[in-house]
């Protein structure tokens, strides 16, 4: 495998040179002379020379160029090369019978001259080698192939390098491997950027050793993401991941872990960038799964990607065609003797004409990733406002409903104005609307989010911190953030039966809430045992299948009004 830049332009260790001369005898002679040390391509005129250069620019080490040729001559070729960024780095040795044009040739970028008629083959070879060496060293120094912090290849160079390797080794099966540090942003947040950088440098050091040991290619492509290109069958990836993790150790009590995605025997018919995208997609399937260190790309991931792309491309059309519907999942207040329906959470549903019902668990994260979620959220809130207005007019009920607010919505400066607009239009008081904001939005950017949330509260909205317990907020931070309700994440509830530790954790959340004078909502409550326990530890509101699944608006309002059909 290629280990350093010196072999970059070589095929089996031999450089490829282009011999340009209109006279066949000269081409043959030079070809014969260089054949002991070089592979050669031949061009009969300037035009053919430029074409061959462009086709082989990544392989060519040197051009031997005749000056006087019919049509496009040597001067014109040099001028063209100089103006073409891709060709300008190729060294040129001019073949000439007199010295008169030297200055002009140097000005145009020639590195050296070989005098015709050709004599002293060993001198010619030596000059060629010297020019190539000089040039390649300079090229290494000039190129920005390495990334500053870790000294590994940067993304661009890595891809070029991998492509190069593929061309020289078309039959070698290769694996594309992506490594990504789990929750890297948290490391930066909790321990500072310097600690984060340290982790990356540490990881890079390990990968450099790996490169030395195995001859693989390694790159830091961006942030906390590293790519490795490895001959297929040469590496045990589970062992690799374990070793990397052992090497990284932990920061205080938090262990630093990488996840590893592998696209085995990568299809070389697919662009190199896409091959590594696939490795990344595989890695992302185990993003929140700490038990599994390695994931392999397979057809199901590919199909999933196609499915996801389809959902993304069809969102606007679906909005326009009314395929999104709001469901309402009742929340029950359990403080009294009997549970009382107190409010609901609005949850979006996508009725896709051919795919059927698509779960928000699938499309919401997709839309969040590419910013489309704002459009959907705005639509859902408007539908909710409209619905609430309708219920108030028809049944005289002021139902309270919470809507989900994505973190990206909170950066939108017209958020309050928009909410005001849809509420006013339907004669609804902001106090009727709870905004569910996921805990991790707060931890990501406490100041900016806090400021916006403060403004929303000033305007009369109530704020629920959603998925509480998964976002790693500290008690310190919680004391400062403006919220009204903690919505305990489902995971706390899920294992209540089986696990005494879980009960202790839930009690802890209740204590925190009491300390901060916050109401607690538990969600995902599926049975009586869970509900009873939660009530016994002071949880005020319960949402979950135990009481009701999310319902279409008509079913929900029927429940509220107690009307039977």
Residues that bind Ca ion (CB under 5 A): 404, 436, 466-467
Interaction of residue 550 with ligand C2E, rule CB under 6 A: yes
In 3D space, the residue among 534, 539, 535, 440 whose CA is nearest the CA of residue 485 turns out to be 539
**Given the complex with Ca ion, which of 295 and 485 has the nearer CB atom?**
485
Question: Of 36-44, 195-203, 355-363, 533-541, which part binds ligand C2E (CB under 6 A)?
Answer: 355-363
Interaction of residue 66 with ligand C2E, rule CB under 6 A: no
The token pair that represents 71 in the structure block: 């049509």
- State the alpha helices, DSSP H only, in 35-109: 46-55, 74-83, 102-107
CB of 8 to Ca ion, least distance (A): 52
Among ligand C2E, Ca ion, none, partner that 406 touches (CB below 5 to 8 angstroms by kind): ligand C2E
Among Ca ion, ligand C2E, none, partner that 31 touches (CB below 5 to 8 angstroms by kind): none
- State the alpha helices, DSSP H only, in 293-372: 299-320, 360-369
CB of 373 to ligand C2E, least distance (A): 6
Distances (CA, A) of 271 to 158, 166, 176: 13, 11, 12
Q: Is 301 helix (H, G, I), strand (E, B) or coil?
A: helix
Binding residue for ligand C2E, selected from 524, 535, 537, 558, defined by CB under 6 A: 524
The token pair that represents 455 in the structure block: 């403004």
Binding residue for ligand C2E, selected from 4, 144, 313, 359, defined by CB under 6 A: 359
The token pair that represents 128 in the structure block: 């060629």
**Given the complex with Ca ion, which of 277 and 466 has the nearer CB atom?**
466
Interaction of residue 555 with ligand C2E, rule CB under 6 A: no
CB of 204 to Ca ion, least distance (A): 37
For Ca ion, the nearest residue by Cβ is 436
Could you give the dihedral angle defined by the CA atoms of residues 120, 121, 124 and 125, in that order, rounded to the nearest 10 degrees?
A: -140
Interaction of residue 404 with ligand C2E, rule CB under 6 A: yes
Report the alpha-carbon distance of residue 558 to residue 341 in Å, rounded. Answer: 12
Binding residue for ligand C2E, selected from 101, 526, 537, 558, defined by CB under 6 A: 526
Could you give the dihedral angle defined by the CA atoms of residues 560, 561, 564 and 565, in that order, rounded to the nearest 10 degrees?
A: -100
Interaction of residue 373 with ligand C2E, rule CB under 6 A: yes
Binding residue for ligand C2E, selected from 48, 136, 145, 377, defined by CB under 6 A: 377
Interaction of residue 523 with ligand C2E, rule CB under 6 A: yes
The token pair that represents 353 in the structure block: 């004409």
Are 263 and 282 spatial neighbours (Cβ–Cβ below 8 Å)? Answer: yes
CB of 462 to ligand C2E, least distance (A): 16
The token pair that represents 464 in the structure block: 């629920």
Binding residue for ligand C2E, selected from 406, 432, 443, 540, defined by CB under 6 A: 406
Phi then psi dihedrals of residue 137, to 5 deg = -60, -45
Q: Is 537 helix (H, G, I), strand (E, B) or coil?
A: coil
Are 402 and 344 spatial neighbours (Cβ–Cβ below 8 Å)? Answer: yes
CB of 472 to ligand C2E, least distance (A): 17
Report the alpha-carbon distance of residue 406 to residue 410 in Å, rounded. Answer: 7
Rg of the chain over CA atoms, in angstroms? Answer: 33
> Rule CB under 6 A: which of 420-479 touch ligand C2E?
436, 466-467
Among ligand C2E, Ca ion, none, partner that 545 touches (CB below 5 to 8 angstroms by kind): ligand C2E
DSSP 8-state secondary structure symbol assigned to residue 400: -
Binding-residue total with ligand C2E (CB under 6 A)? 22
CB of 533 to ligand C2E, least distance (A): 15
Question: Of 35-43, 147-155, 185-193, 522-530, which part binds ligand C2E (CB under 6 A)?
Answer: 522-530
Phi then psi dihedrals of residue 203, to 5 deg = -65, -40
Report the alpha-carbon distance of residue 308 to residue 281 in Å, rounded. Answer: 12
Question: Of 26-34, 210-218, 272-280, 359-367, which part binds ligand C2E (CB under 6 A)?
Answer: 359-367
Interface with ligand C2E (CB under 6 A): 329, 347-348, 359-361, 364, 373, 377, 380, 404, 406, 436, 466-467, 523-526, 544-545, 550
């Amino acid at each position: 495998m290629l280990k350093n830049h010196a072999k970059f332009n070589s095929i089996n260790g031999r450089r490829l040179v282009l011999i340009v001369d209109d006279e066949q005898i000269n081409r043959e002679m030079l070809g014969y002379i260089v054949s002991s040390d070089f592979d050669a391509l031949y061009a009969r005129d300037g035009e053919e020379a430029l074409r061959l250069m462009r086709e082989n620019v990544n392989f060519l080490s040197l051009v031997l160029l005749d000056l006087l040729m019919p049509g496009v001559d040597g001067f014109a070729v040099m001028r063209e090369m100089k103006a073409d960024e891709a060709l300008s780095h190729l060294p040129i040795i001019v073949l000439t019978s007199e010295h008169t044009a030297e200055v002009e040739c140097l000005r145009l970028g020639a590195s050296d001259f070989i005098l015709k008629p050709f004599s002293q083959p060993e001198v010619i070879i030596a000059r060629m080698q010297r020019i190539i060496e000089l040039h390649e060293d300079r090229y290494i120094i000039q190129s920005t192939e390495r990334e500053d912090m870790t000294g590994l290849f940067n993304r661009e160079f890595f891809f070029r390098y991998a492509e190069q390797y593929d061309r020289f080794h078309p039959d070698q099966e290769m694996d594309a491997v992506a490594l990504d540090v789990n929750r890297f942003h948290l490391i930066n947040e909790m321990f500072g950027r310097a600690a984060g950088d340290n982790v990356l440098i540490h990881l890079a050091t390990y990968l450099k050793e790996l490169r030395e040991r195995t001859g693989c290619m390694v790159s830091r492509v961006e942030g906390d993401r590293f790519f490795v290109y490895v001959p297929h069958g040469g590496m045990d990836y589970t062992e690799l991941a374990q070793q990397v993790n052992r090497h990284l150790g932990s920061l205080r009590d938090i262990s630093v872990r990488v996840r590893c995605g592998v696209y085995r025997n990568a299809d070389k018919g697919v662009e190199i960038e896409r091959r590594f995208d696939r490795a990344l997609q595989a890695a992302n399937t185990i993003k929140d799964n700490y038990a599994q260190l390695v994931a392999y790309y397979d057809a199901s991931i590919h199909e999933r990607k196609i499915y996801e792309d389809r959902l993304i491309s069809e969102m606007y059309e679906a909005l326009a065609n009314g395929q999104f519907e709001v469901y309402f999942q009742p929340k029950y207040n359990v403080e009294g003797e009997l549970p009382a329906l107190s409010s609901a959470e609005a949850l979006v549903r996508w009725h896709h004409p051919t795919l059927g019902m698509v779960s928000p668990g699938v499309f919401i994260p997709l839309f969040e990733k590419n910013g489309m979620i704002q459009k959907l959220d705005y639509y859902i809130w408007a539908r909710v406002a409209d619905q609430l207005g309708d219920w108030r007019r028809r049944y005289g009920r002021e139902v309270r409903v919470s809507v989900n607010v994505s973190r990206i919505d909170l950066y939108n400066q017209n958020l309050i104005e928009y909410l005001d607009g849809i509420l006013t239009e339907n004669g609804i008081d902001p106090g009727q609307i709870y905004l569910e904001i996921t805990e991790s939005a707060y931890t990501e950017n406490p100041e900016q989010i806090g400021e916006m949330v403060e403004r929303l509260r000033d305007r009369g909205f109530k704020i629920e911190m959603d998925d509480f317990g998964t976002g790693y907020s500290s008690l310190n931070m919680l004391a400062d953030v403006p919220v009204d309700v903690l919505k305990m994440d489902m995971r706390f509830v899920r294992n209540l039966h089986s696990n005494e530790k879980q009960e202790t954790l839930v009690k802890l959340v209740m204590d925190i809430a009491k300390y901060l004078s916050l109401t607690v909502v538990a969600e995902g409550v599926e049975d009586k045992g869970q509900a009873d326990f939660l009530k016994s530890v002071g949880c005020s509101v319960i949402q979950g299948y135990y009481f009701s699944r999310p319902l279409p608006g008509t079913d929900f309002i029927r429940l509220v009004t107690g009307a039977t059909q």
